[in-house]
Structure 1
Protein backbone atom coordinates (compact mmCIF):
# COMPACT_ATOMS: atom_id res chain seq x y z
CA UNK A 1 0.00 0.00 0.00
CA UNK A 2 2.73 2.46 0.97
CA UNK A 3 4.57 1.87 -2.32
CA UNK A 4 1.41 2.32 -4.40
CA UNK A 5 0.31 5.55 -2.73
CA UNK A 6 3.04 7.83 -4.20
CA UNK A 7 2.33 6.46 -7.66
CA UNK A 8 -1.39 7.19 -7.26
CA UNK A 9 -0.58 10.71 -6.13
CA UNK A 10 1.75 11.26 -9.09
CA UNK A 11 -0.87 9.94 -11.51
CA UNK A 12 -3.49 12.19 -9.93
CA UNK A 13 -1.21 15.25 -10.21
CA UNK A 14 -0.35 14.40 -13.82
CA UNK A 15 -4.03 13.94 -14.69
CA UNK A 16 -4.90 17.25 -13.02
CA UNK A 17 -2.15 19.10 -14.89
CA UNK A 18 -3.27 17.56 -18.19
CA UNK A 19 -6.86 18.56 -17.43
CA UNK A 20 -5.83 22.16 -16.71
CA UNK A 21 -3.69 22.24 -19.85
CA UNK A 22 -6.66 21.06 -21.92
CA UNK A 23 -8.89 23.76 -20.43
CA UNK A 24 -6.30 26.47 -21.17
CA UNK A 25 -5.88 25.14 -24.71
CA UNK A 26 -9.64 25.16 -25.29
CA UNK A 27 -9.89 28.72 -23.95
CA UNK A 28 -7.06 29.95 -26.18
CA UNK A 29 -8.56 28.19 -29.20
CA UNK A 30 -11.93 29.81 -28.48
CA UNK A 31 -10.27 33.22 -28.24
CA UNK A 32 -8.61 32.69 -31.64
CA UNK A 33 -11.93 31.65 -33.19
CA UNK A 34 -13.64 34.72 -31.70
CA UNK A 35 -10.94 37.00 -33.11
CA UNK A 36 -11.32 35.42 -36.56
CA UNK A 37 -15.10 35.92 -36.39
CA UNK A 38 -14.60 39.59 -35.52
CA UNK A 39 -12.27 40.02 -38.49
CA UNK A 40 -14.89 38.49 -40.78
CA UNK A 41 -17.56 40.87 -39.46
CA UNK A 42 -15.38 43.97 -39.98
Structure 2
Protein backbone atom coordinates (compact mmCIF):
# COMPACT_ATOMS: atom_id res chain seq x y z
CA UNK A 1 0.00 0.00 0.00
CA UNK A 2 2.64 2.54 1.02
CA UNK A 3 4.89 1.55 -1.90
CA UNK A 4 2.02 2.26 -4.29
CA UNK A 5 1.49 5.66 -2.68
CA UNK A 6 5.21 6.40 -3.05
CA UNK A 7 5.15 5.27 -6.68
CA UNK A 8 2.16 7.50 -7.37
CA UNK A 9 3.83 10.47 -5.70
CA UNK A 10 6.95 9.90 -7.81
CA UNK A 11 4.89 9.80 -11.01
CA UNK A 12 2.82 12.83 -10.02
CA UNK A 13 5.80 14.97 -9.00
CA UNK A 14 8.15 13.75 -11.76
CA UNK A 15 10.78 12.01 -9.63
CA UNK A 16 12.54 8.80 -10.69
CA UNK A 17 12.61 6.92 -7.39
CA UNK A 18 12.43 9.25 -4.42
CA UNK A 19 9.15 8.45 -2.68
CA UNK A 20 8.91 4.75 -3.64
CA UNK A 21 11.69 3.64 -1.23
CA UNK A 22 10.36 6.00 1.44
CA UNK A 23 6.91 4.45 1.07
CA UNK A 24 8.36 0.93 1.17
CA UNK A 25 10.28 1.67 4.39
CA UNK A 26 7.21 3.25 6.00
CA UNK A 27 5.12 0.23 5.06
CA UNK A 28 7.65 -2.23 6.48
CA UNK A 29 8.04 -0.19 9.67
CA UNK A 30 4.27 -0.06 10.11
CA UNK A 31 3.97 -3.81 9.58
CA UNK A 32 6.71 -4.56 12.11
CA UNK A 33 5.09 -2.20 14.61
CA UNK A 34 1.72 -3.94 14.23
CA UNK A 35 3.29 -7.39 14.60
CA UNK A 36 5.18 -6.38 17.75
CA UNK A 37 2.22 -4.67 19.41
CA UNK A 38 -0.22 -7.47 18.62
CA UNK A 39 2.07 -10.31 19.68
CA UNK A 40 3.06 -8.56 22.90
CA UNK A 41 -0.42 -9.24 24.30
CA UNK A 42 -0.29 -13.00 23.66
Q: Shorter-normalised TM-score: what interval?
A: 0.5 to 0.7
Give the superposition deviation at 1:5.
1.1
Instruction: Map 1:1-42; keep pairs closer than 5 Å.
Output: 3-30=15-42
**4+ long deviations beyond 4 Å:** none
Give how far 1:4 is off. Answer: 4.3
**How many pairs align?**
30
TM-score (ref. length: structure 2): 0.59
Higher helix proportion: 1
Which entry has the higher C-alpha Rg, 1 or 2?
1
| Separation in structure 2 between the aligned mates of residue 18 and residue 26 of structure 1, nearest angstrom | 12
TM-score normalised by L of structure 1: 0.59
